[in-house]
Amino acid sequence: MRYASLPFNHNEPGWPAGGHAYAPQPALRGDITADWVIVGAGFAGVAFARRLAEIKPELKIVIVDAFTTRESASARNSGFVIGLPHNIGSSTAELKKAHAYRNLLQEGIRQLEQEISQHNLQCDWQKVGKYHCQAERGNDRILNEYSRHLDLMGEPWTLAYSDELYHKLGTRFYSKGIFTPGCVLVNPAQLIAGLHHHLPENVQRFENTPVLGIRTGSLAEVVTPFGTIRTAQVMLATNALSPELRPGLARQAAMATFASITEPLTDAQLATLPPMQSWGVTPVNAIAGATFRFTSDRRFLIRQHVIPALRGQVTAAQTHQATQHHQRLFSKLYPTLKSVKITHTWSGTLSVTRNGAPQWGALNRFICTAGGCNGAGVSKQTVAGSLLADFMLKQDNPHLADMLSLGQASFMPPSPVLDIGIALSLMKERFLGRKEK
């Protein structure tokens, strides 16, 4: 048995707690059995567990995570719940795929909204749309293309120039931006905690229970440090982490990205800006540029800097470097707010596939997976997880056709070719987006 490499972020996420109080779960001690074991407690794992339990309430479902719900990328992200794919494309095939993605993302939002309203989850869910902005002046190629693709999709959008953006966002950093109304902003840590809290009763949870390996024979055996779970089926929701658990050739690579949050602005600091509601900005270049948010409790969130992290490990030094990048960027955008302090910088995992398609479905007789978020996973991993339950239990669901139409992630070369490929593509993106930071 190959032992899994376990992820570790040497930092603490900074999303304000609240909503549903976090209820610690026990670690697995001893040997147990289950009908299904889900490895990974982020949006994919939770959505899969919820749907599985809904279809078959008699199943014994176990969900294990190496850490706690507060540690997954699902609790560490920037909280943009997107309803449209980031990249659309204009060929017939690309547009067909973009339509399928849109249907799926909107279904993901619908499922989250249903849980939020059914359980009255407090997670700062705000339907405020988002701005897709560029800083560079005089080169409008990317935004022009984006607006053309939105038209082809029949999606509403409006264009704003620097002055108007200043009144919405309080900064003159951006030259232009496209506003689309369909994005929701959320406190992701509160959302995932609430979803966990309301999992059906036939889902048993174990935290701080890393899966070291999966043995297969007549059944599967999920091996953890202090206990084994014998089961008929395993669902991997590890987001490119612990790649040793996935049978077959690699199709996903783990990268890390960083976010920082500031202390809330005081009245005096707020008075230096135009009056603002909460808002979100995504950059035209996701690798070099920064995602920015202004939250309803007057904090700024900055997500920027992407590094390779094939084993899901991020050091304190890398975190410190990200804080410095974010501080510099924040001062550039908000020169009147130099005294505002960043309280936390943290990292989390993105799973990236070579062709942008997900790694989704059965991997062998025992193991299935929903991975390959490619940078956006709140709505996407929710729908990928829930549809996988329908697929595995052979339930009819009209969204399965959209999911299957996305195709499969292509193979990735092993290290060191993979490491070199990732380093080169990051270098290229950083160069192309150098004017966005």
The secondary structure of residue 275, as a DSSP letter, is -
Q: How many CA atoms lie within 13 A of 351 on its CB side?
A: 30
- CB 254 to ligand FAD: min, Å: 9
The answer to whether 346 touches 258, Cβ cutoff 8 Å, is: yes
Q: Of the candidates 15, 19, 48, 78, which one interacts with ligand FAD according to CB under 6 A?
A: 78
Check binding of 303 to ligand FAD (CB under 6 A). yes
Question: What is the distance between the alpha carbons of residues 169 and 279, in angstroms, rounded to a whole number?
Answer: 7
Q: Of the candidates 19, 50, 62, 77, which one interacts with ligand FAD according to CB under 6 A?
A: 77
Check binding of 257 to ligand FAD (CB under 6 A). yes
Q: Which residues pair with 170 in a beta bridge?
A: none
Q: Which residues neighbour 253 within 8 Å (Cβ) at sequence distance 6 or greater? A: 240, 308, 310, 351, 352, 353, 412, 418, 422
Question: What is the distance between the alpha carbons of residues 30 and 222, in angstroms, rounded to a whole number?
Answer: 12
Check binding of 66 to ligand FAD (CB under 6 A). yes
Reduced to 3 states (helix: H, G, I; strand: E, B; else coil), residue 363 is: coil
Q: Which residues neighbour 190 within 8 Å (Cβ) at sequence distance 6 or greater? A: 15, 17, 18, 19, 20, 121, 122, 123, 124
Q: With respect to ligand FAD, which residue has the nearer C-beta, 194 or 210?
A: 210
Check binding of 283 to ligand FAD (CB under 6 A). no
Q: With respect to ligand FAD, which residue has the nearer C-beta, 50 or 218?
A: 50
Q: With respect to ligand FAD, which residue has the nearer C-beta, 181 or 335?
A: 181
Check binding of 238 to ligand FAD (CB under 6 A). yes
The answer to whether 178 touches 131, Cβ cutoff 8 Å, is: yes
Subset of 170-199 contacting ligand FAD (CB under 6 A): none
Q: With respect to ligand FAD, which residue has the nearer C-beta, 225 or 274?
A: 225
CA dihedral 400, 406, 410, 412 (to 10 degrees): -90
Check binding of 409 to ligand FAD (CB under 6 A). no
Question: What is the distance between the alpha carbons of residues 404 and 387, in angstroms, rounded to a whole number?
Answer: 10
The secondary structure of residue 126, as a DSSP letter, is B
Q: Of the candidates 73, 165, 250, 389, which one interacts with ligand FAD according to CB under 6 A?
A: 73
Q: Of the candidates 14, 79, 243, 433, which one interacts with ligand FAD according to CB under 6 A?
A: 79
Check binding of 211 to ligand FAD (CB under 6 A). yes
Q: Of the candidates 8, 16, 60, 67, which one interacts with ligand FAD according to CB under 6 A?
A: 67
- CB 138 to ligand FAD: min, Å: 29
Q: Of the candidates 88, 135, 203, 373, which one interacts with ligand FAD according to CB under 6 A?
A: 373
121: left (phi over 0), alpha (psi -120 to 50) or beta: beta
The answer to whether 195 touches 46, Cβ cutoff 8 Å, is: yes
Q: Of the candidates 11, 25, 72, 103, which one interacts with ligand FAD according to CB under 6 A?
A: 72
Q: Which residues neighbour 198 within 8 Å (Cβ) at sequence distance 6 or greater? A: 115, 118, 119, 121
Instruction: Name the nearest CA neighbour of 291 among 324, 340, 333.
Output: 333
- Angle (deg, nearest 10), helices 92-119 and 141-153: 70
Q: Of the candidates 28, 38, 63, 64, which one interacts with ligand FAD according to CB under 6 A?
A: 64
Check binding of 356 to ligand FAD (CB under 6 A). no
Check binding of 108 to ligand FAD (CB under 6 A). no
Q: Which residues neighbour 310 within 8 Å (Cβ) at sequence distance 6 or greater? A: 243, 253, 254, 415, 418, 419
Which part of the chain contacts ligand FAD (CB under 6 A), choosing from 155-163, 233-241, 393-401, 403-411?
A: 233-241
Check binding of 386 to ligand FAD (CB under 6 A). no
Check binding of 45 to ligand FAD (CB under 6 A). yes
Q: What share of the chain is helix, strand, coil (3-state, %, to 5)?
A: 35, 25, 40
- CB 322 to ligand FAD: min, Å: 10
Q: With respect to ligand FAD, which residue has the nearer C-beta, 171 or 379?
A: 379
The answer to whether 352 touches 374, Cβ cutoff 8 Å, is: yes
- CB 185 to ligand FAD: min, Å: 9
Q: How many residues bind ligand FAD (CB under 6 A)?
A: 43
Check binding of 241 to ligand FAD (CB under 6 A). yes
Binding mask 334-353 for ligand FAD (x = CB under 6 A): --------------xxx---
Check binding of 376 to ligand FAD (CB under 6 A). yes
Name the residue with tokens 């719900």: 69
Name the residue with tokens 């406190």: 187
Check binding of 41 to ligand FAD (CB under 6 A). yes
The answer to whether 391 touches 370, Cβ cutoff 8 Å, is: no
Check binding of 37 to ligand FAD (CB under 6 A). no
Q: Give the footprint of ligand FAD on this chain (CB under 6 A).
A: 4, 6-7, 39-45, 64-67, 71-74, 76-80, 82, 210-211, 237-239, 241-242, 257, 259, 303, 348-350, 373, 375-378, 381
